């Protein structure tokens, strides 16, 4: 009989809070209390680089996917209240820029209309392929990716 290996990884408190918020939001969407919004994304490719830009209206809350690669984030304009995987709260007002570390997931409340650009290294111009390289849907998926890389 085969047994599934259990992960010893500890899920950070901030991740648990973000996943709870995401679950509540998804339930509210299912019940018709919230409307799901997927901001349009503009894509730009340059030799070895990929940039994605989006605009999110004021009053929206965004739950990001889990980032699997370090990359540059540039907030063009707007003010966001951010809660991250480590439980750290911050306010970012554009213009600003910072580095997003591997394993980052965020809950972002856009107090004003906000636009940002994320710049990633990439050797392809397929958005689907890039997204499979730079994101995981959940923190569990991210941890499984790390475990695969260890073996």
Please give the share of the chain, as a percent, with pLDDT higher than 70: 93
At residue 149, the pLDDT reads 78
Choose between 9 and 21: higher pLDDT. Answer: 21
Q: What is the pLDDT of residues 30-41, one digit of tens each?
A: 999 999 988 899
Region of 81 on the Ramachandran plot (φ > 0 left; ψ -120 to 50 alpha; else beta): beta
Q: What is the mean pLDDT of residues 98-119?
A: 96
Residue 10 pLDDT level (bands cut at 50, 70, 90): confident
pTM for this prediction:
0.87
- 3-class DSSP state for residue 129? helix
Q: Which residues, at least 6 apart from 39, have a Cβ–Cβ distance to it below 8 Å?
A: 54, 55, 56, 60, 62
């Amino acid at each position: 009989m085969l047994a599934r290996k259990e992960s010893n990884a500890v899920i950070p408190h901030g991740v648990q809070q973000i996943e709870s918020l995401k679950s509540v939001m998804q339930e509210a969407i299912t019940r018709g209390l919230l409307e799901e919004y997927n901001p349009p994304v503009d894509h730009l490719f340059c030799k070895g680089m990929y940039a994605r830009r989006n605009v999110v209206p004021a009053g929206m809350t965004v739950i990001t996917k889990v980032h699997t690669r370090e990359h540059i984030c540039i907030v063009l304009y707007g003010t966001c209240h951010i809660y991250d995987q480590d439980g750290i709260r911050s306010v970012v007002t554009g213009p600003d820029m910072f580095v997003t570390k591997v394993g980052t997931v965020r809950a972002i409340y856009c107090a004003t209309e906000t636009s940002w650009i994320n710049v990633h290294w990439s050797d392809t111009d397929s958005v689907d392929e890039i997204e499979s390289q730079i994101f995981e849907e959940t923190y569990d998926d991210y941890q499984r990716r790390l475990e695969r890389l260890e073996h």
